[in-house]
Amino acid sequence: MKYFLSDKASLKLLENPCVYHIKNDELYELDFESFDFLKRCSESGCSAKKNDFIDYCLKEGILVTKKIDSRRPPLEKSPVPSLRYIELQITNKCNLRCKHCYIADRGTDELSLKSIRDILKEFEYMQGLRVLITGGEPLLHNRFEEINEMLSQFLIRKVLFTNGTLLSEKKLKHLNFNEFQISIDGLEKSHDSLRGIGTFKKAMNAVKLSLDYGFNVSIATMVHPENINDFDRMKKLFMKIGIKEWQVDIPCITGRLTENVDFQMNPKEGGKYLRYGYGTGIHTSSSGFACGLHLMAIIANGNVAKCTFYSDAPVGKVEEGLRKCWERIKPVTIDELKCDCEYIESCRGGCRYRAQLSGDPLGKDLYRCALYGTI
């Protein structure tokens, strides 16, 4: 029997050789023998006797028995640490004015089509896994339809971060994304108090439609004073409708939240709600590093930064290329942190930006301390 690499899978030369199942977002580390076998399957197909490994790959949809014409990205060794995820903030434009928005009023910058194409090409070449298309509201980019068209050329996982209010059925049918991450910041009353009247119904409608169309849907929720009594009911609701990943976070006191004092949470009160999130969506990686080891952000004005929070402290410009910018980011090790608790391996010091806002970039993220019960 001859076997072929499925068009849903892509080989990656990260710190170790891997195969990435794009649709399921699963990353499998391989030994050199298995990698070599899958490489031959990806080139012209490979004949072999069935064994446990082949059976497993067939079951997981990594291998198929029918030849598939699929463009394969180049296999080049990634930098170390590898750049696995990019946040691509394609526009600052947004149709909402959420009270916690960190972008606040940064104008209407947008990344050009050429810039986006160059970024994705280089990202794929660097063995990247997942692009998080974000904004503002990404659907409002002037040339969103062309961006959407272009995405199908790249063998990476594409995730759209959206407020959900513009995700109509007509639009959904044509989107070349693997996943939508939709913001739901509470049940109707509390969500609308943060994001505007009528936004909850629209966003929930987008969640349901996306699920009906077979997309992966994850939900992102910010903890704020109005929604703290909603968490048990939200969890029930999200599980009932089949949400596999729920990211719960606390907005940093920056951007518009600095003025909306009533929507700020103190660490002790807010941190405990972080435990509600489930299904982390993180692939296993080298231990011993703080947050953001494999992540970089490209901001709508063309700056490149550690993550979108650091947009005012860029490491370079997009015209210089991703690799050059990536080499300037020094990963923070957990040994450097001023954390002194037994949960350091799992917490990894929480969010460095939040620690910085509390006065020390190597200090504790007090919201995570509240989650772990160390304050």
Site for ligand SF4, rule CB under 6 A:
94, 96-98, 101, 103, 135-137, 163, 339, 341, 343-344, 347, 349-350, 364-365, 368-369, 372, 374
- What are the two backbone dihedrals, phi and then psi, of residue 330, each rounded to the nearest 5 degrees? -95, 115
Minimal distance in Å, beta carbon 135 to ligand SF4? 5
- List the one residue out of 163, 90, 94 whose CA is nearest residue 120: 90
Question: In the structure encoding, which two tokens stand for residue 344, read together?
Answer: 């350091």
Q: Which is nearer to ligand SF4, 19 or 369 (CB)?
A: 369
b vs e for 202-224, b when ≥16 Cβ sit within 10 Å of the residue's Cβ? bbbebbebbeeeebbbbbbbbbb
Q: Which is nearer to ligand SF4, 27 or 103 (CB)?
A: 103
Minimal distance in Å, beta carbon 226 to ligand SF4? 15
Q: Which is nearer to ligand SF4, 81 or 349 (CB)?
A: 349
Minimal distance in Å, beta carbon 221 to ligand SF4? 12
Q: What is the DSSP letter of 73?
A: -
Minimal distance in Å, beta carbon 101 to ligand SF4? 3
- List the one residue out of 91, 142, 151 whose CA is nearest residue 123: 151
Q: Which is nearer to ligand SF4, 81 or 136 (CB)?
A: 136
- List the one residue out of 90, 132, 93 whose CA is nearest residue 112: 90
Q: What is the DSSP letter of 291?
A: T
In terms of Cβ atoms closer than 10 Å to its own Cβ (0-12, 13-18, 19+), residue 177 is buried
CA dihedral 322, 324, 325, 326 (to 10 degrees): 80
Instruction: Say if CB 282 and CB 245 are below 8 A apart.
Output: no
Q: Which is nearer to ligand SF4, 301 or 374 (CB)?
A: 374
Q: Which is nearer to ligand SF4, 120 or 182 (CB)?
A: 182
In 6-156, DSSP assigns E strands to 9-13, 17-21, 26-29, 46-47, 63-64, 85-89, 130-134
- What are the two backbone dihedrals, phi and then psi, of residue 285, each rounded to the nearest 5 degrees? -150, -175
Minimal distance in Å, beta carbon 104 to ligand SF4? 8
Minimal distance in Å, beta carbon 275 to ligand SF4? 12
Q: Which is nearer to ligand SF4, 82 or 199 (CB)?
A: 199
- List the one residue out of 49, 119, 47, 110 whose CA is nearest residue 83: 119
Minimal distance in Å, beta carbon 189 to ligand SF4? 17
In terms of Cβ atoms closer than 10 Å to its own Cβ (0-12, 13-18, 19+), residue 269 is middle
Minimal distance in Å, beta carbon 34 to ligand SF4? 36
Q: Which is nearer to ligand SF4, 124 or 137 (CB)?
A: 137
